[in-house]
Amino acid sequence: MTELMESVVFGLYVFTLAAFVGYQVIGRVPHLLHTPLMAATNAISGISLVGSMVAAGGHRGTVATVLGTIAVAAASLNVVGGFVITDRMLRMFKKETKK
């Protein structure tokens, strides 16, 4: 196989695996449990962050490195934003203490 075909096959493999795992994780969370769902999506974002770091550091060419770096930035933003939103949701359920 050529190098381009190997890259395409590898990309399709990663995409299919990520789609399957994401569907299995999110599909098993009851609809009433939004906070655990946010935690699951944060975990999936963490997985995509690791995958994008592998892509950025894979020495597969300049274009792959640039796209991998952009993916690292986007996934990092998604992980941080997800944790901020989850923290905000959890604070809504805490009881206020009287001083």
Q: In the chain, what is the straight-line distance between the N-terminal and C-terminal CA atoms, in Å?
A: 70
Q: What is the mean pLDDT of the chain?
A: 79
Q: What pLDDT digit, counting tens, does each position of 8-29 carry?
A: 888 888 888 888 887 787 677 6
DSSP class of residue 86 equals H
Task: For residue 33, give the 3-state DSSP assignment.
Answer: coil
Domain boundaries, the chain: 3-92
Average pLDDT over residues 56-83: 84
- CA dist list (Å): 33 to 17, 29, 78, 94: 25, 7, 20, 16
